[in-house]
Amino acid sequence: MFSASETPSSATPAMSKLEFNKLQKRLRRHTGQAIEDFQMIEEGDRVMVCLSGGKLCPVNIL
């Protein structure tokens, strides 16, 4: 996984922006599927979202 300070081009020299976007999409899909499969979040639950004050956060918030 990439740290918040890394961009797609600095994470792995050979990794293209397309590959990075595909990785992000796959991670979001698998995370969402795990939340559904294990009923981690249900109707009426409260969810806290925390963001760092870092310079760049390449992960999109759903």
For residue 50, pLDDT beyond 80: yes
- Give the residue-averaged pLDDT of 4-9: 53
For 16-40, how does the pLDDT look when each residue is reduced to its tens digit (9 = 90+)?
Answer: 889 989 999 999 999 999 999 999 9
Look-up of token digits 């979001």: 28
What is the reported pTM?
0.53
Mean pLDDT of the chain: 79
pLDDT score, position 31: 94
